[in-house]
Structure 1
Amino acid sequence: MPDLADRLPEPPARRPDLDDDFAGPRLRDDLWIDHYLPQWTTPDRSAARYDLGDRGLRLRIDEDQRDWRPEDAPLRVSNIQTGTFAGPLGSGQGTHRHRPDGLVVRTATPARLLWAPAAGRVDVTVSASADKGCMFAVWLVGTEHLDARDSGEVCVFEIEAADLTTARCGIKAHHDDRLRQEMTEVTIPVDAARPHTWTAIWGPDGTVIGCEGVELFRSAQAPLYPQFLLIDLWELGGRTGKYPKTAWIHRVRGWDNSR
């Protein structure tokens, strides 16, 4: 467990390449795609449910929302991400081939690299969901648009509503044999249901993940190829409890250090 005296470095002095507090009347389409991995399913299943307001963007799982794919039911998700990549219809080519049951492209999805640094820093201010059956997550995953091996993930956090005191974070190799799986469970140093900021820094020196300025994870590994940022709220079981189920994204700032 890292010493709580281990502080994260300050953000770069230059302006962020990505900076959004979701204060506009609509989601910025120059930064975000409001579908979860749309190539592997259909638009009615991948589309996010969300609201914009004074606090930022509220992701929702609604009672009438459909499962992301019929094969994965029950699993519903609302997500925003900073790009898409997929091969032709019927192919198995696309970002995040994470399922073992033969994902194929069901929806033609153009390549959009809105924010996809190969090294950088991201600060994400959020309030996690306390709703039954939900998990809230922020992660960076290889785009795969240059090479199918470029699939590694920096998992900034996964927080399950059943336990808002801990999170999982680290590195997931997926199809990248240059990486090894390196995930850990950490204690969240603040109340995760209230606004707090997570940070991920990755590059040639490795990967560092922290929360509220405190370093929680460090690795010599890093996926050094273009990465999309994804922020998502999942409902992992069947329909239960009250709706909508929600989590907040208050602000996102990102710096591309690969330029």
Structure 2
Amino acid sequence: MADLTAYSLDFGDDFRGPELDRSKWPPFYLPHWSSRRAAAANVETGPNGLVLSIGQNQPPWLPAIDGPIRVSSIQTGAFAGPLGSTIGQHRFNPTLRVKEAQPTERLYVPLYGRFEMRARMHLCPGQLAALWTIGFEDEPERSGEITIMEIFGDSVDAASAELGHGIKAINDPSLVTEFSAPRLPFSPARFHVYAADWDETGVSFYLDERLLTRVEQSPAYPMQFMLNVYELKPSNAPSPRLEVDWFRGYRRKAAA
């Protein structure tokens, strides 16, 4: 196991309750650009943990701009400007305007720490599962992304998969995108622990406690978590499923 003696548990969820804990995870994907109704996640919790999937009749979350993409996502914060403004988290298209005003929620928005998720996923081509952080974006340039895990179903075969991880600058001029997706000999359909250790100097990425890489740059502002599955194009394939046993966030202890 990872040596966590230098850390204290800051946030955790094993998703065993009968419903998603809304004090930790609003179940809407960037609802300010769409609406809570269109962006609502298909989510289950219970004895086996969290399951995110795409419902049979679930609509595309933002068809006018993002096409047929359907997504189920939970996140640990929300911030956007007033109706009609261009202020909002993860503004991935310059035409985006706030369509539905949202309450500001800072449920778990840490600055630095170690973060771990034990999960498995079932993905077909045209599907995606991911765990990433985004800047809270209370200032527009605070928009960088730390991708802890990003797996496309197209990359998965019987013996391996491509595991995306790294930093994306998005609209942060202080960052440079440094992202890779090496093919690794593992099966995403089995449980693995995906982790990142983020400090003032950089971010280290891990799979089952094995160091994959370290990026020597670091967003210097609080970030929230995004946990999601996507269907990127219409398909007759089974729904993507992301099954999460637990998620944990740790804060480094102050020096004695």
TM-score greater than 0.5 by the shorter chain:
yes
Is residue 2:75 matched to residue 1:81?
A: yes
TM superposition shift of 1:16 = 1.5
TM superposition shift of 1:192 = 1.1
Cα gap change, 1:12/1:98 in structure 2, threshold over 3 Å: closer, same or farther? Answer: farther
Is residue 2:242 matched to residue 1:247?
A: yes
Whether the aligned pair in 1 keeps the contact of 2:79 and 2:105 (CA below 8 Å) is yes
Deviates more, 1:75-84 or 1:124-133: 124-133
Of 206, 213, 217, 2:202 maps to 206
Which residue does 1:57 correspond to in 2? 50
User: Which amino acid in structure 2 is aligned with residue 34 of structure 1?
Assistant: P
Distance of 1:192 and 1:140 partners within structure 2: 20
Is residue 2:29 matched to residue 1:36?
A: yes
Which residue does 1:92 correspond to in 2? 86
Q: Which runs of 5+ in 1 are unaligned?
A: 1-7
TM superposition shift of 1:130 = 2.3
Matches within 5 A, 1:154-165: 154-164=146-156, 165=161
Q: Which runs of 5+ in 2 are unaligned?
A: none
Distance of 1:196 and 1:189 partners within structure 2: 12
Percent of aligned pairs with the same amino acid: 34
Is residue 2:81 matched to residue 1:125?
A: no
Is residue 2:185 matched to residue 1:192?
A: no
Whether the aligned pair in 1 keeps the contact of 2:71 and 2:231 (CA below 8 Å) is yes
Deviates more, 1:133-142 or 1:247-256: 247-256
Question: TM-score, normalization: structure 1?
Answer: 0.91
TM superposition shift of 1:140 = 0.6
Distance of 2:147 and 2:214 partners within structure 1: 12
Distance of 1:141 and 1:46 partners within structure 2: 18
User: Which amino acid in structure 2 is aligned with residue 98 of structure 1?
Assistant: F
Distance of 1:163 and 1:11 partners within structure 2: 32
Distance of 1:89 and 1:65 partners within structure 2: 25
User: Which amino acid in structure 2 is aligned with residue 32 of structure 1?
Assistant: W
Distance of 2:184 and 2:11 partners within structure 1: 25
Matches within 5 A, 1:95-110: 95-100=89-94, 102-110=95-103
User: Which amino acid in structure 2 is aligned with residue 142 of structure 1?
Assistant: G
Whether the aligned pair in 1 keeps the contact of 2:136 and 2:223 (CA below 8 Å) is yes
User: Which amino acid in structure 2 is aligned with residue 215 of structure 1?
Assistant: L
SS at match of 2:181: strand
Distance of 2:123 and 2:36 partners within structure 1: 27
Of 174, 177, 183, 2:173 maps to 177
TM superposition shift of 1:60 = 1.0
Distance of 2:39 and 2:232 partners within structure 1: 15
Cα gap change, 1:225/1:258 in structure 2, threshold over 3 Å: closer, same or farther? Answer: farther
Cα gap change, 1:12/1:140 in structure 2, threshold over 3 Å: closer, same or farther? Answer: farther
User: Which amino acid in structure 2 is aligned with residue 163 of structure 1?
Assistant: S
TM superposition shift of 1:110 = 1.1
Whether the aligned pair in 2 keeps the contact of 1:117 and 1:258 (CA below 8 Å) is no
TM superposition shift of 1:189 = 4.8
Distance of 1:73 and 1:66 partners within structure 2: 11
Of 22, 43, 51, 2:15 maps to 22
Whether the aligned pair in 2 keeps the contact of 1:129 and 1:135 (CA below 8 Å) is no
User: Which amino acid in structure 2 is aligned with residue 90 of structure 1?
Assistant: G
